[in-house]
Amino acid sequence: MARKMMSSLQGNVPELRVLFLLLLLLLPLRPISGGDGGGHDYHTALHLSILFFEGQRSGRLPPDQRLRWRHDSALHDGSTAGVDLTGGYYDAGDNVKFGFPMAFTTTMLSWSIIDFGRNMGPELKHAVRAVKWATDYLLKATVIPGVVFVQVGDALSDHNCWERPEDMDTLRTAYKIDTSHPGSDVAGETAAALAAASIVFRSRDPQYSRLLLNRAIRVFEFADRHRGAYSSSLYRAVCPFYCDVNGYQDELLWAAAWLHKASRRRIYREYIMRNEVVLHAGDTINEFGWDNKHAGINVLLSKEVLMGKADYFGSFKQNADEFICSLLPGISHPQVQYSPGGLIFKAGGSNMQHVTSLSFLLLAYSNYLSHANKFVPCGGKSASPALLKQLAKRQVNYILGDNPLRMSYMVGYGARYPQRIHHRASSLPSVQAHPARIGCKAGSRYFLSPNPNPNLLVGAVVGGPNVTDAFPDSRPFFQESEPTTYINAPLVGLLAFFSAHP
């Protein structure tokens, strides 16, 4: 029910808060959860963050499903359109499959593995399976040339009910974009997801990798040739839930960047250079999420510049440097705020999506800078790779319990964490505990109950506290209490790195 539209913040950080945040960076990290070396147990947090995705699965669950309170659901998705659209992920606490955030989740899970898979240890195989659960679905959604199925489920009827996915009886309408009803944003993100995943599977399953890359190429060509925003074509279905408020241009560049990385074909390098200005590569540099890819594009392409392989992408590195500077406490951008406790805060729902996505970019860029032995110039100051890592680690530690409430915002991690998350399957009795069907409105008493959720959706990171670090542990406060797949996806990479470099 919580829709997570990207939105700009207004107002500068007060001078005293700037000094306070800079002081925070200089203080030693304080242990909360008794992890390795007295700090956080990043290994456990990584395990849980990946396990969360099994709780979001739609379709027929495999024999190795580890969250046993979940069961098969939505087994006829796509049948009304004559296609098989079973599988994939529910994006958040509802029972709709939204293709735009699902594709972004897939891209970020893949990027987490590409950059930090070597730090995942035994969790790597589970992270790869999490990607494949998504890509198997995205392949089904793009099987017809010139068509991408971008949503299954009518959001209005779904949000009018509080029921388990296993009991779902709301409309499972399949929504698509095509040549007459374009959606370059969602198609571009889908192409990016397939291309990024093709890198993940390149050595693990070459045949599957080639299938993903070939499909990514085809979907990108469709997205580029038939331009338009999908919320113009499907407004009643996707708005106000996952409206494209940022335009589709960034997704075209984002897809081209991932296709360039996955295929090494010159055509994509030339596309990026030819369209850099036309597609506004330098716009809104301090945003990154399911609807805005600008900062991600700049960081991704900067790696090649820093490796000395692509001076022609130099302007993207300049944009990436500006993005980094915009996040630094003390010289931060007016659209970036920090809470008194030190949490990145941007207006709009589900703030943790900004925290994990922006922190991922800080960490990734820090690694690229380290390899090149470079710093980021920020006016009269410079930001070292170590400082960027410290900033990212501060955000991760805030999530895990280093915050004014001394509360972990990851379910199942630490001694104190959210008990009443806005999530249908978690808040209703499982099929095992209550085999009889629970109807659309019969679930309302569970939604309104003050009792903790009966099923632990371990690893779920909720939308998080507000700008004053306050958190109502209550289902109706969906912006704070609802988890999403795209909060967790970048966090997987962050936790992998810090589990190896605590």
CA dist 128 and 113 (Å) reads 8
Enumerate long-range contacts of 274-277, CB under 8 Å, 24 or more apart: 276/315, 276/316
How far apart (Å, rounded) are the C-alpha atoms in residues 275 and 497?
34
The answer to whether 422 is a known catalytic residue is: yes
Q: Specify whether the CB–CB gap between 494 and 356 falls below 8 A.
A: yes
The one-letter amino acid code at 184 reads S
CA distance 222 to 499: 40
Residues 6+ apart with CB under 8 A from 382: 375, 376
* Interatomic CA distance for residues 299 and 321, integer angstroms: 9
Q: Can you say whether the dihedral through the CA atoms of 289, 293, 295, 296 is positive or negative?
A: positive
CA distance 200 to 216: 14
Number of H helices, E strands in the chain: 19, 7
- Do 95 and 74 contact (CB within 8 A), yes or no? yes
Q: Give the angle 6-12-13 at the CA atoms, nearest 5°.
A: 100
The active-site residue, picked from 115, 185, 402, 482, is: 482
Q: Which long-range contacts (CB under 8 A, 24 or more apart) does 35-41 make?
A: 35/502, 36/502, 37/502, 39/502, 40/396, 40/397, 40/400, 40/401, 40/498, 40/502, 41/413
Q: In 376-448, where does DSSP find H-type helix?
A: 385-400, 424-427, 444-448
Q: Which residues contact 118 (CB under 8 A, 6 or more apart)?
A: 500
Which is catalytic among the residues 158, 422, 423, 469? 422
The residue type found at 18 is V
Specify the DSSP class assigned to residue 120. Answer: -
The DSSP code sequence of 202-265 is TTT-HHHHHHHHHHHHHHHHHHHHS---HHHHSHHHHTTTS---S-SHHHHHHHHHHHHHHH--
Q: Name the active-site residue from 287, 321, 473, 480.
A: 473
Specify the residue for token string 């999420």.
Answer: 289
- Cα(202)–Cα(262) distance, integer angstroms: 9
Residues involved in catalysis: 422, 473, 482
